Amino acid sequence: MTFLGYRRTDGRVGIRNHVLIIPSVVCANRVARGISQLVTGTTWVEHQHGCTQLGDDAALTRRVLVAHGTHPNVYGIVVVGLGCETMRAQDIAAGIREACPDKPLRLVIIQDEGGSVKAIAAGASAAHEMVSGASCMERTPSDVSELILGTECGGSDACSGISANPALGVASDLLIDAGGSVILAETTELIGAEHLIAARAVNPQVAVRCYDVIKRCEDSAKSMGVDMRGGQPTPGNIEGGLSTIEEKSLGCIYKAGTKPLQDIIDYAMPVTKKGLIWMDTPGQDIEQITGMVAGGCHFVVFTTGRGTCCGSPIAPTIKVATNTALYEKMKDNMDVNAGTIITGDESVQQVGRRIYQEMMQVASGKCPRAEILGFNDFAIKRIGPSL
Amino acid sequence: MTKKAIVMEAADNVATAVEKIEPLTEMILDVAGNRITVQVTERILFGHKFAIRDIPSGDAVFKYGEPIGIAQRDIKTGQHVHVHNLESRRGRGDKNPEPS
């Protein structure tokens, strides 16, 4: 089976053709936004990082920024730095160039350009050339087996584990049957369900890792000295009827379908295997999306019961409502209604196939709501303090 | 057929309401193909759980056929099961703080 994608010279295929403006540091956010505001057809990210970071924490931020530049959904990149930051824009640009030497890339340093106005002008000048080039590229038939799906549930309610997540599980299985890859993430929301996923591990090493990753996550929560409840599940989850993290996790895991777990990878590491992959991310929605996109996922299917609007700046984010009341109430932000499972009008299989069809259309260019409405949520996990 | 409450697995001792249920409502539930009748004794909001069997204090509450926590008091059939009478066993930094 094929979809229409953008073939990159590194061999990968994209489902979008973005010109992306990336600030290397929080101090360059305004300029990155200014460039994007001037040039229709660009998108940008903003973040709070890039200075006074050390070691693995700095490496993680760098990895995420570079991976957004090298992402196959991105045609060209403008990297913006202030000039005195830890996370030098030159290094981010070099990281992107090393992996993707053919991608249009422009480096803009605010202090070298002579201030923010001149930096915005320089960036906009480069970006508008890139948009012109991007607009000439045509989509070509590409095999579905090249697609990587990121799965997510956020703003969960008690229906998440009954309707939308099992249906997303069906769609995940369909993509894996077609030869593609599926990311399961949000480690926190697997606490209490680790035995179920470990039983599907492809080998004993991966099974052991399932328990190790959960233990580390749970120990980190316990080190705060309080009950996790209130942080996980969240107040909204609790209002929606979810009582404990175990209950949330057991509903959460359905979205991973039924296929064997091939591997567990760290946050924002590239997905290189086919089949089901667990990426160790926080349960915080935007940090999770950002990590999965950095790992190379082309698009995200995001189930929600309470209602969330978010979306990645470069990976189309498809929203699946767990109940019909939410779908009707937040229609502007929802793409698929899985509430028909609750009302008995459709089976889990039927909704799963609808989600898969939506994924295929989005891969070929259909815009989900979060993309139409311009959501460009971006948040990088931190593992060290700001100094 | 419109369902008012769902029992996910045969081992479960709670049902999930998929519409608001008023006290003293007689619920006919499908538990793995068997029909059981439960009188709901408290108002149960959409998405919330009620006991379909008596659950003694200290026993596990089961949903999806798996334990989701421990009953903190005796829960009678038909009663609301939520954060007031059900506690998690996981991520309890308040009970077993990790040495820092």
Give me the interface pTM, i.e. the ipTM. 0.94
A192 contact residues in B (CB cutoff 8 A): 66-68, 88, 90
Domain-located, residue A383: no
Q: Per the domain annotation, does A209 fall within a domain?
A: yes
Q: Both A109 and A221 in a single domain?
A: no
Amino acid present at A81: G
Task: Give yes or no for A259 touching B (CB within 8 A).
Answer: no
Residue A4 located in a structural domain: no
Are residue A99 and residue A150 in the same domain, yes or no?
A: no
Whether A46 and A122 share a structural domain: yes
Same domain, A324 and A188: yes
Q: Which of A103, A135, A167 is the last residue of a domain?
A: A135
Q: Kind and range of the H or E element at A142?
A: strand A140-143
Residue A237: pLDDT over 60: yes
Last residue of a domain, one of A135, A161, A183: A135
Please tell me the distance from the alpha carbon of residue A170 to that of residue A254, in angstroms, as a whole number.
Answer: 9
Q: Compare CB distances from A245 to B6, B48, B91 and report the shortest one's residue.
A: B91
Residues A121 and A213 in one domain: no
Chain B neighbors of A345, CB-CB under 8 A: none
Write the residue in B47, B90, B93 that is nearest to A191 by C-beta: B90
Residue range of the domain that includes A171: 143-372
Would residue A325 count as lying in a domain? Answer: yes
State residue A138's pLDDT score. Answer: 97
Nearest residue of A to residue B63, measured between CA atoms: A247
Q: Which domains does chain B have, with CATH numbers?
A: 5-87 (2.30.130.110)
Residues in chain B: 100
Comparing CA positions, the residue from A323, A314, A327 lying closest to residue A371 is: A314
What is the domain count for chain A?
2
Q: Averaged over A9-14, what is the pLDDT?
A: 95
**Interval A290-310: pLDDT, tens:** 999 999 999 999 999 999 999
Place of tokens 């998440």: A160
Q: How far apart are CA A119 and CA A112, in angstroms?
A: 8
Q: Is the pTM of this model over 0.90?
A: yes
Q: Do B91 and A225 touch (CB under 8 A)?
A: no
Domain-embedded: residue A128 = yes
User: Do residues A105 and A184 share a domain?
Assistant: no
- Please indicate if any CB of chain B lies within 8 Å of the CB of A283: no
pLDDT of residue B1: 39
**Residue A172 covered by a domain:** yes
Per-position DSSP letters for A53-69, written without gaps between them: --HHHHHHHHHHHHHHH
Judge if A115 and A219 occupy the same domain. no
Residues A341 and A304 in one domain: yes
- For A166-189, write each residue's pLDDT tens digit: 999 999 999 999 999 999 999 999
Which residues share a beta bridge with A264? A278
To test the contact with chain A by mutation, choose from B7, B14, B16 the residue with the greatest count of A C-beta atoms within 10 A, namely B16
CB–CB contact A243 B8 (8 Å)? no
User: A11 in a domain, yes or no?
Assistant: no
In a domain, A126, yes or no: yes
pLDDT tens digits, B31-55: 999 999 999 999 999 999 999 999 9
Kindly report the nearest CA distance between residue A262 and chain B, in angstroms.
24
A347 near B CB under 8 A: no
* Chain A CB contacts of B63 below 8 Å: 247, 250
Contact check, Cβ <8 Å, B18/A159: yes
DSSP 8-state code for residue A259: S
Report chain B residues touching chain A, CB-CB < 8 A. 1-3, 6, 8, 16-18, 45-49, 61, 63-64, 66-69, 81-83, 86-98, 100
With CB atoms and an 8 Å threshold, state whether B16 touches A243: no
A176 and A287 assigned to the same domain: yes
Q: Would you say the C-alpha torsion A342, A343, A346, A347 has a positive or negative sign?
A: positive
Instruction: Based on the fold, state whether residues A129 and A153 are members of the same structural domain.
Output: no
Domain identity same for A257 and A178 = yes
* Strand B86-87 with B26-31, pairing: unpaired
> What is the pairing mode between strands B66-71 and B60-63?
antiparallel
A114 and A239 both lie in a single domain = no
CATH of the domain at A123: 3.40.50
Residue where a domain terminates, one of A105, A135, A165: A135
pLDDT (0 to 100) of residue A29: 98
Is the model's pLDDT at B98 over the cut of 60?
no
Quick check: helix, strand or coil at residue A245?
helix
CB contact under 8 A, A243 and B1: no
| Closest A-chain CA to B80 | A241
Give per-residue pLDDT as tens, A195-218: 999 999 999 999 999 999 999 999
Nearby residues of A166 by Cβ (< 8 Å), 6 or more positions away: A254, A255, A341, A348, A352
Tokens 């316990």 -> residue: A222
Question: Contact, B90 vs A191, CB < 8 A?
Answer: yes
pLDDT over 80 at A89, yes or no: yes
Q: Is the pLDDT of residue B2 over 80?
A: no
